Amino acid sequence: MVDARKVAVTAVTAGLCLPLALFAIILVPVPGLPAASGFWIPAGFYFVMTLWFGVWGALGGHIATFLAMGYFQGFTLQVWADGALGDLIAPLVALIVFKLMGAHPDLKDRKDKMAWLIGVPIASLVCGLWVHTVNLYFGVITWPFWWVGVLTYFIGDSLAVFIVGTPLLRSLTSYVKQSPMYIWRD
């Protein structure tokens, strides 16, 4: 059921990630690769929101990427949709890893930290494979760029999520835990 709080989580995530997606790509671009980033800062935020609030956070990241890519580079709809779907999939993969390992996003015990260290690279890799394989089959990139794209995505997203997301999870999860929207219960 959709209620105001869920809409607020999606809206805040999208609102936070949109300017970051538009203006906060520090490293890159990779010539020949549309929408590739070596340090995708918004990922740090929508991963965190997804680990706290579930699919509503991921949806915010998805909306932000879709809007940012459309404005920024004049890409075709396929590239917007592809990248935005990738950014919907990635945090959900990390969420699934946390669920499978029985970990929690406060990163307090060893299991939580392992889930974070394993889940983020897996999520980034899955997402990179999705985005650039779709790009390849739509003829947006060629084979020689496929692995460069996947590698860029893997490193760029993982690095940003670790650097941006870790302090947010460590410092804010104790507050978020008190919210009824928090999806983890001990």
Partner 1 sequence: MVSYTMLFITSVYMLVAAVIAIDFLERRALREEFDRAVKSKSFLIYLRVFKVLMEAAVLWLIIAFFGQILMGWISI
Residues in contact with partner 1 by CB under 8 A are: 5, 8, 12, 16, 19-20, 23-27, 41, 45, 48-49, 164, 167-168, 171-172, 175-176, 178-180
Name which of 42 and 86 has its Cβ closer to partner 1.
42
- Return the SS3 of 40: strand
Write the Ramachandran bin of 79: left for phi over 0, alpha for psi from -120 to 50, otherwise beta: alpha
Q: How far is the CB of 68 from partner 1 (least distance, A)?
A: 13
Q: How far is the CB of 158 from partner 1 (least distance, A)?
A: 17
What residues contact residue 73 under an 8 Å CB cut-off, 6+ apart? Answer: 34, 35, 79
Q: How far is the CB of 182 from partner 1 (least distance, A)?
A: 9
Name which of 29 and 70 has its Cβ closer to partner 1.
29
51 with 29: CB under 8 angstroms?
Answer: no
Name which of 23 and 71 has its Cβ closer to partner 1.
23
For residue 57, which of 186, 161, 167 has the smallest C-alpha distance? 161
